[in-house]
Amino acid sequence: MSLLVFGHKNPDTDSICSAISLAHLKNELGVEATPYALGEVRKEAQYALDYFGVKAPEVLEDVKIQVKDLSYDKVKSLKPSDSVLNAYNTMIEKGTKTLPVVSVDGKFEGIITMVEIAKSLMYQHFRKVNIPLENVCYNLKGEVLVQCNDVFDGRVTTLSYGMEEIMNLLSEGDIAIVGNRYDIIEYAIDTKVSLLILTGKATLNEELTALAKANGVTVISVDVDTYTASNLINQCAEIEDIITRENLVLFNENDYVDDVKETMLSTNFRAYPVVDDNSKFLGLVSRRHLLNPTKKNVVLVDHNEFAQSADGIEQANIVEIVDHHKIGGISTDLPISVRVSPVGCCSTIIYNLYKENNVEVPKHIAGLLLSAILSDTLIFKSPTTTELDKKAVLELAKIAGVDYEAYGMDMFKAGTSLDEFSIEEIVNMDFKEFNMSGNRVGIGQVMTLDIDSILNKKDEYLSYINGTDYDMLVLAITDIIKEGSYLLYKANDSVIAEAFNVDANQGVFAEGVVSRKKQLVPNLTSAVKNM
């Protein structure tokens, strides 16, 4: 099973680039891994992806356990043209009383059950139904002597009576069964039955063969007696007419197991068909398969808190965390690999993982790692910047073949235009949730070179912020040039004043505050404790 590698919700450049780069490293080391994004890729990250020719990762909605994560039964299926006898024998062989029926292109059509087979035979359902020649030859060990048609739908008649009775009984189009009674055989051909079954390996002479061809009568010789042929012919019929197609409960492979459990509790079927988005049959799932589901194996980058991670993360198997933030509240059932370092960017850690594993960093990966570090450290202006970050940037810029300062400013310009976004989108653009002394606190940060575009709409932003259900919410509008942030908040002025040493008012400029990790979060955490 492939590892799912992803960063936090509302992914920033580091989350996107770290996921791609770590997944690439895993694959180079022989571990199958796929990068994902927990949300839409933003302009800044997209600029980096486009610049270095890398496709954006697929958006991952959640990591909840789905039907496709279960070890459900990959059972043999039947076609509508299969014989009843074949269906019965397959059920006996597989030890089941239910089998799925699929079309020639694999799409689910319904199910057939032992009960329906028994009912149909008991009530002579197959007295006049479609019987393919292929089924007759297979089930009765038949040899075709004359073939005029492939499928027969006439009434089944066993010619074991005297000629007078047979003349009153036999009709054109019937399926006739007879031994080596050649007067009866000739009469049946003259009557233009659709299929003539000769039992006991009886054959035709040239004259009767020619007559059968002329009258359009298909003739086969079978290696069983008349009694056996009479019993088995009904079982050569297609199962088409006894397929159960209505009132079935089936699941898509992408359905959540939690929903499947509820459905199973309210229904009483032994097994449930599983299909894909194109209705292709995949297997059968039953209650026992829900007992030990296979969890998705995930690697978290650039975060380590449940609130910031994928929906359903508690149902996933976290195998590794690579991060540069404080340790959050994630717990695991088993020991895992954890790499958390106090550097300015998660991609700095991942770059060092490449070096530690002696894996060459290709140009496009170097470009992504570089982009992430420049973004998180604000081209070294953030107080979170370490010497490891600076060293990584110099080395990665050389591999990527760019001037990191010029490239960094171009990336920021591409990413800080807010013209296309709504107020709600801007507040949630780079947003994380925290628990501070029992308070649900949201912190959003947006970096822009056009501060006035936000501050001119201050009242509209505050209306949205105050309408949220957070106990506290702070939006930091970071000015890269002035190296500080303007603050809009839903909080007591005293908390903001203490946290950032300012005269608290909406839109106040907090000089030097540019990092959520090293300034916004710890400062607010301390101030909230003192409330």
Question: Among 353, 380, 415, where does a domain finish?
Answer: 415
Considering the domain architecture, whether residues 147 and 197 belong to the same structural domain is answered as yes
| C-alpha distances in Å from residue 295, one per residue of 37, 276, 454 | 19, 19, 43
Considering the domain architecture, whether residues 403 and 492 belong to the same structural domain is answered as no
User: For the chain, how many residues are written?
Assistant: 531
Considering the domain architecture, whether residues 312 and 393 belong to the same structural domain is answered as yes
pLDDT for position 257: 96
Residue 405 lies in a domain: yes
The owner of tokens 């992430």 is 372
Percent of the chain with pLDDT over 90: 71
d(CA 323, CA 341): 7
- Strand order from edge to edge, sheet including 175-178: 142-146, 218-222, 195-198, 175-178, 156-158
* Average pLDDT across the chain, whole number: 92
Residue 442 lies in a domain: yes
> How large is the average pLDDT for residues 19-28?
98
CATH of the domain at 225: 3.40.1390.20
Considering the domain architecture, whether residues 252 and 387 belong to the same structural domain is answered as no
pLDDT at 127 over 70: no
Label residue 119 by pLDDT band (50, 70, 90). confident
More confident residue, 348 or 515: 348
Provide the residue range defining the domain that includes 35.
3-65+296-415
Q: Residue 110, Cα to own-chain centre: how many angstroms?
A: 23
Full DSSP string of 399-434: HHTS-HHHHHHHHHHHHH--TT--HHHHHTTTEEEE
User: How many domains, the chain?
Assistant: 4
Dihedral angle of Cα 158, 160, 165, 168, to the nearest 10 degrees: 20
Residue 493 lies in a domain: yes
In this structure, the number of other CB atoms found within 10 A of the CB of residue 178 comes to 24
Label residue 124 by pLDDT band (50, 70, 90). low
Label residue 236 by pLDDT band (50, 70, 90). confident
Beta-carbon contacts of 389 under 8 Å, excluding residues fewer than 6 positions away, are: 343, 344, 345, 348, 373, 376, 377, 380
Q: Residue 111, Cα to own-chain centre: how many angstroms?
A: 25
Residue 336 lies in a domain: yes
* Element (DSSP H or E) covering residue 323: strand 317-323
CATH of the domain at 347: 3.90.1640.10
Considering the domain architecture, whether residues 283 and 300 belong to the same structural domain is answered as no
What is the residue type of 2?
S
The owner of tokens 């308070």 is 439
Of 31-40, 113-122, 137-146, 336-345, minimum mean pLDDT range: 113-122
CATH of the domain at 279: 3.10.580.10
Considering the domain architecture, whether residues 382 and 304 belong to the same structural domain is answered as yes
Can you read off the two tokens belonging to residue 487? Answer: 């603050």
Residue 167 lies in a domain: yes
User: What is the tens place of the pLDDT at every residue in 380-426?
Assistant: 988 899 999 999 999 999 999 999 999 999 999 888 878 788 999 99
The rounded radius of gyration (Å) of the Cα atoms in the chain is: 37
More confident residue, 327 or 348: 348
The owner of tokens 């450049």 is 13
Beta-carbon contacts of 282 under 8 Å, excluding residues fewer than 6 positions away, are: 72, 74, 253, 274, 275, 276
pLDDT at 271 over 60: yes
Residue 70 lies in a domain: no
- Maximum pairwise Cα distance, the chain: 116
More confident residue, 335 or 124: 335
> How large is the average pLDDT for residues 499-503?
95
Beta bridge partners of 435: 440
Considering the domain architecture, whether residues 440 and 513 belong to the same structural domain is answered as yes
pLDDT for position 125: 47
Label residue 126 by pLDDT band (50, 70, 90). very low
Of 238-247, 254-263, 300-309, minimum mean pLDDT range: 238-247
Residue 55 lies in a domain: yes
CA angle 57, 421, 487 (to 5 degrees): 105
CATH of the domain at 520: 3.10.310.20
Considering the domain architecture, whether residues 231 and 270 belong to the same structural domain is answered as no
Considering the domain architecture, whether residues 198 and 169 belong to the same structural domain is answered as yes
Residue 71 lies in a domain: no
Beta bridge partners of 281: 275
Question: Among 382, 415, 448, where does a domain finish?
Answer: 415
Residue 20's nearest CA partner among 488, 244, 438, 347 is 347
Residue 450's nearest CA partner among 416, 489, 415 is 416
HSE-up (13 A, CA, CB side) for residue 388: 16
The owner of tokens 């990250």 is 45
Considering the domain architecture, whether residues 224 and 355 belong to the same structural domain is answered as no
3-state secondary structure of 442: strand
pLDDT at 365 over 50: yes
Residue 284's nearest CA partner among 91, 81, 3, 80 is 91
Question: Among 221, 236, 251, where does a domain finish?
Answer: 236
Considering the domain architecture, whether residues 394 and 253 belong to the same structural domain is answered as no
Considering the domain architecture, whether residues 267 and 340 belong to the same structural domain is answered as no
Q: Helices (H), strands (E): how many in the chain?
A: 19, 23
pLDDT at 484 over 60: yes
